[in-house]
Chains A and B, each alone.
Chain A
Amino acid sequence: MTRKRVHLAAHFPGVNNTTVWTDPRAGSQIDFASFAHLARTAERGGFDFFFLAEGLRLRELKGRIHDLDVVGRPESLTVLSALAAVTDRLGLAGTVNATFNEPYELARRLATLDHLSQGRAAWNVVTTSDAFTGENFRRGGFLDRADRYRRAAEFVRLSRELWDSWQPDAVVADPETGRFVREGGIGDVAHHGEHFSIEGRFTVPRSPQGHPVIIQAGDSDEGREFAASTADVIFSRHGTLDDGRAFYSDVKRRLARYGRRPRELKIMPAATFALGDTEEEAAENAAAIRRQQVGPQTAIAFLEQVWGRDMSAYDPDGPFPDVEPDLSEDLSQGRVPFGDRAAVAAKWRALAQEKGLTIRELVIEVTGRQTFVGTPQSVARQIDEHVQADAADGFILVPHLIPGGLDEFVERVVPLLRERGAVRTGYTGTTLREHLFDDESESEPS
């Protein structure tokens, strides 16, 4: 039996409490040097791609800008284009909203990035119907929640029509014959659909990948269906073994309906990690990072998001409060909501009671625990085992420190993954599609 190869990607961490900015080693979140450092580290590790998230409005809590986490980031595709100049093989994936963009312009930008990186561009298609974010855009919050993925699917379809409208050999540039473009090499596009109605001609020659890689990150049934029909990669939140396996089989099962094989869609959950020379040291490091990630003010802020009321009077190092949540109020704007807040509150309170936890201890316990904790050997083994157990095809690693948060992983864990034969020993292709799909050793699950 052949083994599945593990795919790895690097997430530049940003505006949530995963990123520890209080550490003395924490560098700039905006200087290009920080992005270049992380990207070069990922390339040294042979990672498939580098990933940037997006948020089109600064997050708010209680009507004010949330100031406890990193705030501010650059425009994704612009930074990725600059990174194309300082890397050679690494895929460059940017999150760009399908609600607040128009296909002609975004398809152009993605095709441009694919040319400028010689075949390394990827688009993480996210959707929103959020009127709060819409206040920064021409059309405001115009879209019904139910229509988000219909628009996204049509957006991607239309982008592909635009990318396909130039034949691969359209540009001949032959001074002898005087032909710059081949007769009939550039086709016209006419698309009249539910969300878009456009006619005309595209301006970018077909790019090295033809179609930049499509990533999807969204959890709803519609989101999964959209991914099954359209995406090359899913960025999921399901990093634990059980969760991961359930999600993996659910999504892979949906592929057949679209005539796609399981290996045509890679599932890559977000993953965090903490390393140590011994298991004990790794556990201590993990706990220390969690304490940095959940400072006293952050603990209260988490509580307020769930409880929907001002909790600033409570001592984060004191006992868990027994006030009821106010479900009529949602105090947070611009972030993915907590889901059923009443259930979350009940669960947190029960756990605090059972274990005798303070507010901060509880929040540390219930939010964002590292996916992988251990020695380099054990982390390499856990990652490989998750993939072989069909909990994932690989992971998008989210370091907690910028810019050096992946250095140790690449120096100590990647060589062990290579020894196990879990990852490539180097790049075998030049495009991101090749990194993702040229798996000689990978066999179809039968």
Chain B
Amino acid sequence: MTLHLAVALDGAGWHPAAWRELTAAPQAIFSPAYWAGLVTEAEQGLLDFVTIEDALGPQSTLTDGFDDRTDQVRGRFDAVLLAARLAPLTRYVGLVPTATTTHTEPFHVAVGIATLDHVSGGRAGWRPQVSPRAAEARHFGRREFPPLDRLLPQEGLNRPGGLDLSADPHVRDLFAEAADAVEVARRLWDSWEDDAVIRDAATGRFVDRDKLHPVDFAGSRFSVKGPSITPRPPQGQPVVTALAHARLPYEFAAACADVVYVTPHSAEQAHAIVTEIRALSADLKIFADLVVFLGEHAARRKARLDELDGAVFTSDAAIFTGTAGELADLLLEWQRAGVQGFRLRPGGLPHDLRQITRGLTAELRGRGSFRGAYESRTLRGLLGLPRPASRYAEAS
């Protein structure tokens, strides 16, 4: 059984001091060439997809609010636009930007992801993300949120395994809204049947309007009439993915997503999470997230970065330091526990990405566990997900 491999791209990598490594390119982080280099590297490694992180506020060491640290990367591009910028430079690798569901317009997000699918010829995905922070809500000035720190223990969101905020009514409300946003997006993607554009010169009709459908969604936070302004995307529905640490987001992922990223810290935990999620959904693809520092001296590298940053790096996901061969062992062990793929978060870019694309993939291939060539031009194809028919197709 082969496994699926994705990488999570963000800034100079996931360690806050990664930009200070000799191999890093910190001056280039806000240039298109930097991102082009990363994504073509991922494609040369035959990876399934890359994800791109995003948020509606700057990075911070505080849980809710902005710090004045000047020694860490601050600033990010809009991830959907960045993914679109990379689409013409690649042909096979999937592009999965993060887009927030909390303060954005579901209609705009759905149409943006559909457009990404068009410009990439069927390689788009989306990671919907809630924005629970009061500081980000103030960027919009339309809703008042309680400060998030009130919910959290000292370690904040980086606690190993992530935090369970499922009991909090504010967080539950945000997840319900996110579920509505995904539902609206899927309806909008379906709202044009595949063969709606007919170009019938005899009757003068460009579309068959019986194949365009209002979506008529009414929820507690928004309603959307539809249909979409954009023809059905090549994949029918782009791939929806979700990061989940606890029961509430597992339920969100099972109901709304095609792929879930989970954060076990051992094969046993992986097994337990897989069992819990499988009881909710038989079809959801389960990926595990891992932060990886790779190479002969990985542990020493990480220790040096910790020292530069003045803190031991912690994460919701497990942190791996070691060689590509050792990582391959671990991935295959977790695969036996039911994990179908991995989203690796490179500790430092481009170093750990190259270790993945050149070292890890070769290791896995040697063990018959990774592809030797791309087998599909769409992201659904790479993930073995069928192309869904429009929900409205039968009704008409």
Check if A197 sits within 8 Å of B77, measured CB to CB. no
Decide if B311 is an interface residue (CB 8 Å cutoff): no
B77 CB contacts on chain A under 8 angstroms:
112, 115-116, 204
Can you name 10 A-B pairs with beta carbons within 8 Å?
A32-B87, A138-B106, A171-B30, A179-B70, A180-B71, A181-B75, A182-B70, A186-B58, A186-B74, A200-B57
Which residues B177-206 have CB closer than 8 A to chain A?
192, 197, 199, 201, 203-206
Decide if B336 is an interface residue (CB 8 Å cutoff): no
The residue of chain B having its C-beta at the shortest distance from the C-beta of A189 within the complex is B139
In the assembled complex, the CB of A159 is this many whole angstroms from the nearest CB of chain B, namely: 13
Which residues does B use to contact A, with CB under 8 Å?
A: 19-22, 24, 26-27, 29-32, 36, 55-58, 66, 70-78, 80-82, 84-89, 103-108, 111-112, 114-116, 118-119, 121, 135-136, 138-142, 192, 197, 199, 201, 203-209, 212, 221-231, 308
Check if A201 sits within 8 Å of B230, measured CB to CB. no
As a 0/1 sequence over residues 181 to 209 of chain A, the CB contacts with chain B under 8 angstroms (1 = contact) are: 11101101000000011111111110000
9-residue interface stretch from A53-61, A214-222, A255-263, A337-345: A53-61
A118 CB contacts on chain B under 8 angstroms:
32
Report the separation of the CA atoms of residues A65 and B85 in the bound assembly, to the nearest whole angstrom. 32
Check if B105 sits within 8 Å of A138, measured CB to CB. yes
Check if B225 sits within 8 Å of A135, measured CB to CB. yes
Check if B105 sits within 8 Å of A100, measured CB to CB. yes
Check if A297 sits within 8 Å of B75, measured CB to CB. no
Check if B199 sits within 8 Å of A78, measured CB to CB. no
Task: Say yes or no: A84-B207 contact (C-beta < 8 A), given A75-B115, A78-B119, A79-B119.
Answer: no
Check if A200 sits within 8 Å of B142, measured CB to CB. no
Which residues does A use to contact B, with CB under 8 Å?
A: 21-22, 30-32, 36, 55-58, 64-65, 67-75, 77-79, 81-82, 84-86, 100-102, 104-105, 108-109, 112-113, 115-118, 135-138, 166, 171, 173, 175, 178-183, 185-186, 188, 196-205, 295-298
Task: Say yes or no: A85-B141 contact (C-beta < 8 A), given A115-B32, A204-B76.
Answer: no
A105 CB contacts on chain B under 8 angstroms:
56, 103-104, 140
**Counting chain A CB atoms within 10 Å of each CB, which of B73, B203, B204, B230 scores highest?**
B204
Check if A82 sits within 8 Å of B70, measured CB to CB. no
| 5 nearest A-B residue pairs (beta carbon) | A173-B26, A297-B204, A135-B225, A78-B115, A74-B115
B20 CB contacts on chain A under 8 angstroms:
175, 178
In the assembled complex, the CB of B10 is this many whole angstroms from the nearest CB of chain A, namely: 13
Chain A binding surface, main DSSP class? loop
Check if B139 sits within 8 Å of A104, measured CB to CB. yes
Report the separation of the CA atoms of residues A201 and B76 in the bound assembly, to the nearest whole angstrom. 12
A135 CB contacts on chain B under 8 angstroms:
223-225
Report the separation of the CA atoms of residues A77 and B119 in the bound assembly, to the nearest whole angstrom. 12
Check if B84 sits within 8 Å of A65, measured CB to CB. no
Report the separation of the CA atoms of residues A188 and B57 in the bound assembly, to the nearest whole angstrom. 12
